[in-house]
Amino acid sequence: MNGNKDIGSKGPAQTDARRIAVVGIVVTDRLKTAPKVNQVLSDYAHIIIGRMGIPYRDRGVSVIALIVDGDTDTLGAMTGKLGSIPGVRVRTAITV
């Protein structure tokens, strides 16, 4: 064999493979951005396994942690939409 994968086999680089990830979201202006953030999260509810939100009043931000299970294209679309909202910072750690 020449090291190439068989035609039709699915390797880990293909985008339709589902991944479990942790998404961290920091919101700096909750009153202004919460409706937009919640709309995006509602649109992607089918991949959200768990959600925890904490207002961190000492720093003037709100922090949301998500556990998600979806393909990388869907994860990227969701985080891209969230990250495009002014006052929202997003980071993702894909674990499995």
Instruction: Give me the domains of the chain, ranges plus CATH numbers.
Output: 18-94 (3.30.70.1150)
Mean pLDDT, range 69-89, rounded to an integer: 97
Cα angle 41, 72, 1; round to 5: 170
What does the block give as tokens for 82? 């969230």
pLDDT over 50 at 12, yes or no: no
Q: Higher-confidence residue: 96 or 54?
A: 54
CA distances from 34 to 26, 37, 63, 67 (A): 11, 5, 11, 19
Scan for tokens 């202004």, then name that residue: 32
Nearest-angstrom CA–CA distance, 77 and 84: 11
- The tens digit of pLDDT for each residue in 14-72 reads 446 999 999 999 999 989 999 999 999 999 999 999 999 999 999 999 999 999 999 99
Q: Among 2, 19, 18, 23, which Cα is nearest to 79's?
A: 23
